[in-house]
Amino acid sequence: MSKLNPSHLLHEARQKAGLTQRELAERAGTSQSVVGRIESGATNPTVETLNHLISTAGFELHTELVIRPVENSHMLDDVERILQLTPEERLEEVKAANKFLNAAQHV
């Protein structure tokens, strides 16, 4: 089972917290059957639901996009253009990329 699987993440958080499904459900304001269905893989929770349940168990779930260089990428074609920019224009490029990454993290 993948460690990124919602059922695995929830089960692990609940077990590490020493909680039964019923105890976690009560603390989270939901039913034991909801927790059970997620842990069994019968249903996939929304990110918000998974975060809420994991948070209720006392943990935080961190996800992020990380840019990784790709050889022969069209992005490398942009290097020449970027090198011709002024320092101020390069800062604007970085600002725009940072704004995009921040927005992507909240999706």
Co-location of 46 and 79 in the same domain? no
What domain count does the chain have? Answer: 2
Co-location of 49 and 90 in the same domain? no
Length of the chain: 107
| Spatial separation of the C-alpha atoms in residues 2 and 91, rounded to whole Å | 39
Mean pLDDT of 43-69: 90
Co-location of 46 and 11 in the same domain? yes
pLDDT in tens, 28-38: 999 999 999 99
Is residue 48 within 8 Å of 58, Cβ to Cβ? Answer: no
Is residue 73 within 8 Å of 45, Cβ to Cβ? Answer: no
Q: Is residue 66 part of a domain?
A: no
Is residue 17 within 8 Å of 26, Cβ to Cβ? Answer: no
Q: Which carries the bigger pLDDT value, residue 4 or residue 92?
A: 92
CATH of the domain at 11: 1.10.260.40
Domain limits for position 95: 74-105
Model pTM score: 0.61
pLDDT at 16 over 90: yes
